[in-house]
Amino acid sequence: MTAVAARPPRVRTPGPRTRGGGSSRLRDFAVRWGALLVLGLLWEVAARFFASPFFPPVSRILERFAELWFTSDPASFFLTERVVTDLLPSLGRLLGGWSIAVVAGVLLGVALGRSRTLAGYVEPIIHFARAIPPPALIPIFFILLGIGDEMKISLIAFAVVWAVLLNTIDGVRSVETLHLDTGRVFDFSRAKVFFGIVLPSASPKIFAGMRVSLSVALIIMVISEMAASSQGIGFNIIIAQRTYRLLDMWAGILLLGILGYVLNALLAAVENRVTRWHRGAREGVS
Amino acid sequence: MTDTATEQSRGDLLTIEGLGHVYEGRNRFEAIGRLDFTVPEGSFVSIVGPSGCGKTTMLRCLSGLMRPTRGTVRLHGDEVHGVPRDLAIVFQDYSRSLFPWRTVGGNVAFVLPRRSMSPEERRARIEESLDAVGLAGSADKYPWQLSGGMQQRVAIARALAYRPRIMLMDEPFASVDAQTRAELEDLMLSVRDRFDMTILFVTHDIDESVYLADRVLVLSKSPSTIVASIDVDLPRPRDQVATREDEDFVRLRSEIARMIRDQSTKRAPAAVPPAA
């Protein structure tokens, strides 16, 4: 018996999903952040050389970024008022819409994945609905739900539910027949089959859907705020641009980048924990 | 069926009467012709046959995973509809039968009822089952961290923890190497004694069928019927070396090998018999 023998040669994957230990991890880290640092320096030099008002140097963007979002006041956890008025509403819409989409997508996906007949009726509708670019629906959501948070959350949920839904259907359909037979042999209840076999089997695919959904949710959040809003990161960027506060605009864009990166990293960490067995079983030793 | 049928099945744990199965459809295929046999309580019965003799179909019908076209299966005199509580199966494909998202201990624990057992009872049952298959101390590993033979041990432990009266085994050692196979065979013999289990063991391997069993049933090709029922009176406990060189063992295995060869050559060109 050999427990976890030599791993296959490591392929460097983008994003924070790369595993490995010690020195190679450190090297990965250096390579990835080093490249970003070089890009930043190039920008800095080019911006100072051309001195275009539209592309300020990185150092000034960072400075403005710090000004906008951080204070020296420990009473407010070193964060400015703007975090509450702009970042939190955006984050709330993003996560609200995404969570609704995940729950709805998984529930509906399981139902459709288990019933071929039902799926036969519904799938054409799904494929049509998901082909519509969500921003095109802003006017309709606007008419139906106004310009408040309901509109934005619903739009985000609508836009991102498809990836979760289709992945869940796929995942549920790929449950091993022998696992289900095993459940029957050992007299599992329906709930036990669902939570104990179907959901874990489908979880790697569900997580893949959730990750795609999360990045789309960020996009839709920004678009909806740019189209109709009175606060939020997207609103701030568009207003800054219209009033020639270009540093503010760039600081907002930087914040969005960081936000997307951090959220994705968090989700990847959760996924890593929950579906660790999946990679192990794939690389499996026997 | 009739009173006499139930009368005869006293002492028999599993009774199969007139079992037959036909896969309908465009490629109609009669997998099982007619099977009648019994598995006495506490016995070890092997079923051996040429490849393509409908063994998997038979096991699925016997266990209630599938409804046979004809005939009845009785466990303890009760007709089998759906998988009965007193029956457990160990599948050939352990890697698709064990749950990779659960640890070894978690896989065993999964078949134990949550309500009617206290946590202590559950823990004791898991420990006992893993100990019986020589995996005490591996409870926290994942199945995929173990070798094939070890994984099949986990599947056996899981079936044992369920406390069935009868265990059906579908070519359980077909995909492990010869040495591991011998170990697992002896493991089954010791497990059977320790838990007083009735075992119905389906295999391709003639030596294995004789080595393990009290009785060997030889199947024909599909549509399968029973060609012979051979009682094995080799002394117990059996020994991988001594038993296999016993004159009676050699005679029995040759006899069965001859029957199976005759089966395979008889209708050699028709691997899949066309519908009549």
A:B CB pairs within 8 Å: 73
Please check whether residue B51 touches A, CB under 8 A. Answer: no
Write out pLDDT tens, residues A111-157.
Answer: 999 888 888 899 899 999 989 998 898 888 888 988 888 899 999 99
CB B113 within 8 A of CB B162: no
Residue A78's pLDDT is what?
A: 79
Q: Which residue of A179, A185, A272 is the best one to mutate when testing the B interface, meaning the one whose CB has the most B CBs within 10 A? A: A185
Consecutive 10-residue averages of pLDDT for chain B (276 residues): 43 92 90 94 93 86 93 92 93 92 95 89 94 92 93 96 94 91 94 93 94 94 91 92 93 93 66 48
Write out pLDDT tens, residues A228-284.
Answer: 888 889 998 999 999 989 999 999 999 999 999 999 999 999 999 998 888 888 875
B255 Cα to chain A: minimum distance (Å): 35
Please tell me which residue of chain A has the smallest CA distance to B99: A179
> Which of A86 and A156 is assigned the larger pLDDT?
A156
Closest by Cα among B73, B99, B170, B272 to A277: B99
Question: What is this structure's pTM?
Answer: 0.80
Token code pair at residue A209: 């859907």
For residues A27-46, b (16+ Cβ closer than 10 Å) or e, as one string? ebeeeeeeeeeeeeeebbee
Residue A21's pLDDT is what?
A: 55
Residues of A in contact with B100 (CB under 8 A): 277-278, 280-281
- Asked if B100 and A278 come within 8 Å (Cβ–Cβ), the reply is yes
Peptide bond connecting B237 to the previous residue in cis, omega within 30 degrees of 0: yes
Q: What is the SS3 assignment for B87?
A: strand
ipTM above 0.90, yes or no: no
Residue A2's pLDDT is what?
A: 40
Find how far residue B190's CA is from the centre of its chain: 16
DSSP string over A224-253: HHHHS-SSSHHHHHHHHHHTT-HHHHHHHH
| Cα(A18)–Cα(A278) distance, integer angstroms | 15
| Cα(B154)–Cα(B139) distance, integer angstroms | 9
Please check whether residue B101 touches A, CB under 8 A. Answer: yes
Residue A14's pLDDT is what?
A: 47
Residues of B in contact with A194 (CB under 8 A): none
Closest by Cα among A83, A87, A94 to A220: A94
Residues of B in contact with A178 (CB under 8 A): 91, 93, 96-97
When mean pLDDT is compared across A29-43, A63-77, A128-142, B132-146, the lowest value belongs to: A63-77
C-alpha to C-alpha distances, B149 to A26, A57, A180, A182, B30, nearest whole angstrom: 38, 63, 22, 19, 34
| Cα(B88)–Cα(A186) distance, integer angstroms | 7
From the CB of residue B108, how many other CB atoms can be counted at a distance below 10 Å?
Answer: 29
Write out pLDDT tens, residues A173-218.
Answer: 999 999 999 999 999 999 999 999 999 999 999 999 999 999 999 9
Residue B266's pLDDT is what?
A: 66
- Asked if B83 and A187 come within 8 Å (Cβ–Cβ), the reply is yes
> Which one-letter DSSP state was computed for residue A196?
I
Residue B270's pLDDT is what?
A: 46
Q: What is the CA radius of gyration of chain A?
A: 23
Residue B104's pLDDT is what?
A: 96
Closest by Cα among A31, A30, A66, A60 to A44: A60
Burial of B269 (0-12, 13-18, 19+ CB in 10 A): exposed
Of B91, B101, B144, the CB nearest to A178: B91
